[in-house]
Amino acid sequence: MVKDGELPSRVREQLTVLQYKSELLVAAVQLGVIVLLFVLNYLTPVGYSPGAPVHSARLGLSLFTILILVRLWFAYTKQLTPIFLGFSVIVEMSLLLFTIWTYYLQFETTATINLKNTQFTYIFVLIALRALRFEPLWVVLSGLTAALGWSIIVWQTLQKTGMNAITWDYVTYASTRSIYLGAEFNKVLSVLLVTGIIALVVRHAKEILRQAVTQAVAATDLSRFFDMAVVNKIIGSETVLKAGYGETRQATILFIDLRGFTKASETLSPSNLIEILGDYQRLLVPIIQKHNGAIDKFLGDGIMASFGAVIPSDTCAADALNAVEDLIMAVNEWSEIRRKQGAVPFSIGIGLAFGEIIFGVIGQEGHLEYTVIGEAANLAAKLEKQNKIEQTQALTTSDTLMKALQQGYVDKEHKVKRLGRNVEGVEELIDLVVLA
């Protein structure tokens, strides 16, 4: 089992946050139970004298409330250290046992009544609540406190009643104020057994929690290098991914190139260039993802994205064209802001194509990569370059536009078509559509 100290710091931080929330949950449950017991206590007819030396239930619930509120304050102020938490675990169990012990004073009778107190069952509730922190230590500490405390109550009862109160006849025990040591032994044993079982379960659950948190942190880290849709695809795969795995589907592929970046690299420092790339990618990536697109890869100052490749979509072409409109608008605004600031303005070139692709895994076992392969991907890359010839910002094919219209895309501007165009690398003539 991996020890806490062997986990990365960011994983330990996540576990600490979860345990903090768990402590709040423990307190919330305990306060809920206290409120319920207060209500029941006030609604239940009083079975003891109003002048009794102590009113056990009300005293115990009041002290317990104070303890929980103090522990909540320590938790909220980030002062809930392991030492204080351990102390409060001992105190909360001790308060319950103290409440049970005072029952013979409340009813003004012999101490043997304490051993037949049904409040004993709340011991298991307190032990179980400690499991919510996913720390076996607190479960064990709570259980051992209960076992020791109950043993003390039994001993104190024997001190007051004398050894003559002991019986080995169960019927006599059940119908009189005698003490049946076998029953008390079973109570202590049951507390220890439940404590041990819950501690083992919590220990196992903690390991599962560690793995889950580690995977969640890893998924978050992966999303910084891969598109989140790809990360979810990897995590959710029912089989081990291997090179050669692929799925055929209809998708729309988008290629984007940052115009003017090469020229800017001749005059700007490397740090400035990286900063520009960061701004450019932070601007465009959310727009692509907003329209259900997935980033396939960053190609220097270029971006390759897919719609309907990672997750099959019946609106992939429409989504892609809507994304292009927002991308053009966003880059134009960004470029205008840079121009006003006296910085180098930029524009983009976009190529878009719909068709059958293969979305799969390539590479070798030590380095795998999810990517898109197919004629649509090749054509999108060529259309992006064709913008320079056509003197446009964004191009697609008439087939892609037709597919987008079928999928609900609204062509508000009635896109200009350039029929029978010769695209480098493509043998047949293609009907192009100018998107910008």
The per-residue pLDDT for 142 is 94
The per-residue pLDDT for 225 is 46
CB-based contact 129:30 (threshold 8 Å): yes
Strands (E), 365-428: 367-373, 394-397, 416-421
- Tens digits of per-residue pLDDT, 301-351? 888 888 988 788 889 999 999 999 999 999 888 888 888 888 878 888 999
d(CA 121, CA 389): 83
SS3 164: helix
Domains and CATH numbers, the chain: 4-223 (no CATH), 228-434 (3.30.70.1230)
- How far, in Å, are 79, 118, 120, 161 from residue 187 at the CA level? 35, 12, 9, 20
SS3 432: strand
Terminal-to-terminal C-alpha distance of the chain? 58
- Burial (CB count <10 Å: 0-12, 13-18, 19+), residue 259: middle
CB-based contact 312:340 (threshold 8 Å): no
Q: Write the single-letter amino acid at 178.
A: S
CB-based contact 393:348 (threshold 8 Å): yes
Give pLDDT < 70 ranges for the chain.
Answer: 1-15, 209-210, 212-246, 360-370
The per-residue pLDDT for 357 is 84
CA 108 from chain center: how many Å? 54
Query: Which residues are registered as beta bridge partners of 347?
Result: 259
d(CA 245, CA 129): 47
CB-based contact 245:238 (threshold 8 Å): no
- Tens digits of per-residue pLDDT, 166-214? 888 888 888 888 888 888 999 999 999 999 999 998 888 777 766 766 6
Nearest to 426 by CA among 355, 349, 320, 324: 355
The per-residue pLDDT for 1 is 46
CA 89 from chain center: how many Å? 28
Other C-beta atoms lying within 10 Å of the C-beta of residue 57? 19
Query: Which residues are registered as beta bridge partners of 125?
Result: none
Alpha helices in 224-314 (DSSP H): 228-235, 261-264, 270-290
Q: Write the single-letter amino acid at 346.
A: F
The per-residue pLDDT for 275 is 82
Q: Which residues contact 138 (CB under 8 A, 6 or more apart)?
A: 85, 86, 89, 130
The per-residue pLDDT for 370 is 63
Q: Which two tokens stand for residue 81?
A: 């250290």
